[in-house]
Amino acid sequence: MGNHRRFWTLAAIAGGVLAGVALPPVGWPWLLWPALALLWAVAGSPHRGTALVAASLWGAAAVLVSHRWLLWLHPLDWIGVPAPLSLPLCLVVWGFCGGVGGLLVAAWVALVRPLDPNRLDTALVAALGWGLAEVLLARGPLFWLGLGASALPGDPALAALAALAGAGAIAALQVLIGWGLWRALQLGALRGRPRALALPLALLLLAHGPGWALALAPGSGGDGASENVMVVQPAIPTRHKFEAGSQRRLLEQLDQALGSLQGSASLASRSAAGPGAGAETTVVVLPEGALPLGQPLPRAATAEVLAGGFRQQDDSVRSSVLRFGPGERYASGAVDKHRLVPLGEWVPLARLVRWSGLSAVGGLEGGAASRLLPRPAGAIGVAICYELADGTALAQASRDGARWLLASANLDPYPRALQAQFTALAQLRAIETGRWLVSVANTGPSLVVAASGQVRSTLPDGIAAIKTMTVRQRQTLTVYDRWGNGPLLLGWLLALLLRFWPRPAAGSSASAER
């Protein structure tokens, strides 16, 4: 029994580590499939207690590897955490996330085991259920990256399916492919029975055939006007962001960007290239939290400005994307951040306890759920920081009239691994909604993603830079824009019906024939 438990423990940890590595920034699904096959083997193991422990280790290992960038929070002395406590506190936050991941995967295995994991109808219920769980978790406070994002950058054909059913369907397909690989091994794929590979190969074809058709299909760049977007990347370390010198430096960068637009009004009226395109407009964008509370622009701009900043709403402070119209120095419009980072922005009992959390801006209030920002040149959808993980909200914004998407973030002091995950999510959101997406971040990634998911223009990460990029407005809705996660939910309900539909016993059937 001891050897059995040790084997499953080691196998589960190895599978979880492999799954964590397979997620972006690597983004190689073919590493994820054997990891999921190991998880299915754990679910099908004979001893329930061992299976649940092993499943929790699989989930914890996957999260700890994929979210290792959390350790870059250290040191926290700049927000008042004593140096000796900084690293232990970061380890606690990282470990807590791993523990939650482990509990979720263990709960999934606990639900799957009684249904007989060997059955295809059970696999369908379990895989679609996993996809729905990721969609629901993405709307809550703790979720960042799941199997739905694993297709990028390595498997664009699989990622293309997001335009049909979103990231949840991609996660479900991954789980189903892992099941097919596990069943092939059970049926003797490694023991001279090549026909056992027919099942996983069929699942791969099912996942990639429509995806390649979508990825290779010719598409238009846009069905509306193009816009010049001047992206301002300040590259000011968060630990020094609120110092007087850093604030002065940021305003100088913004003043430089606004000054370059003076006398360039022709950009706002020049015809865009391409048949059927409207007139180009110019908009300046700055990352999350760029402007302090109440900060006006250093000068009235000839163009529209969309700047991350803070605003007062009644007796609460909101993190927002602020809109300054041409000629304005004070914001006349805004969309507030709805999904706040636990302990970083949302602090329990913040009004009673004098602690800002793991950030200098803790104690914020969330805004409305809508991600739509109306503007004269055409509404856009806005995701602030890790709101980019929620594809449902941006699809709703696209249905409501958003013509392109803006992802505004401050990812300092995190490493490039997190930037790569942010880029993968930006590509996925662009594919889901069929919208071009502009990402502007303090230290990167600052880039433009086409509606196909291709990165079209970038700024080098980690350095202060300003660059004008072009986006195309789109009004055409994808299947996912129109139906959201409805097809995924319908598929899960049908799979449940198939799994639990009563079947006549073999004996009673034989009696009826006589």
Please give the single-letter amino acid code of residue 202. Answer: A
CA angle 435, 436, 438 (to 5 degrees): 130
**In the block, which residue shows the tokens 């997406």?**
437
Confidence of residue 274 (pLDDT cuts 50, 70, 90): very low
pLDDT at 279 over 50: no
pLDDT at 240 over 80: no
Give the count of beta carbons closer than 10 Å to the beta carbon of residue 348.
Answer: 10
Residue 241 annotated in active site: no
Mean pLDDT of 147-175: 93
- Summarize pLDDT for 282-305 with one digit per residue, the tens: 899 999 989 988 889 988 878 899
Q: What pLDDT score does 256 carry?
A: 83
Task: Report residue 207: phi and psi, to 5°.
Answer: -80, -35
pLDDT at 507 over 80: no
Please check whether residue 193 is in contact with residue 183, taking contact to mean a CB–CB distance below 8 angstroms: no
Candidates 227, 288, 345, 387; catalytic one: 288
Q: What pLDDT score does 276 carry?
A: 34
Token couple for 450 = 């086409």
- Summarize pLDDT for 48-92 with one digit per residue, the tens: 999 999 999 999 999 999 999 999 988 887 666 788 888 998 999
Token couple for 192 = 């001279």
Residue 97 annotated in active site: no
Give the count of beta carbons closer than 10 Å to the beta carbon of residue 100.
Answer: 16
Candidates 97, 337, 345, 432; catalytic one: 337
How deeply is 511 buried, as exposed, middle or buried, from its count of CB atoms within 10 A (0-12, 13-18, 19+)? exposed
CA separation for the pair 428, 446 (Å, rounded): 16
> Between 120-137 and 162-186, two packed helices, what is the crossing angle to 10 degrees?
140
Token couple for 199 = 């099942």
Q: Which domains does the chain have, with CATH numbers?
A: 2-218+484-500 (no CATH), 226-475 (3.60.110.10)
Residue 385 annotated in active site: yes
Give the count of beta carbons closer than 10 Å to the beta carbon of residue 489.
Answer: 16
Candidates 97, 385, 387, 432; catalytic one: 385
Confidence of residue 114 (pLDDT cuts 50, 70, 90): very high
- Summarize pLDDT for 332-361 with one digit per residue, the tens: 999 999 998 877 676 655 554 555 555 556
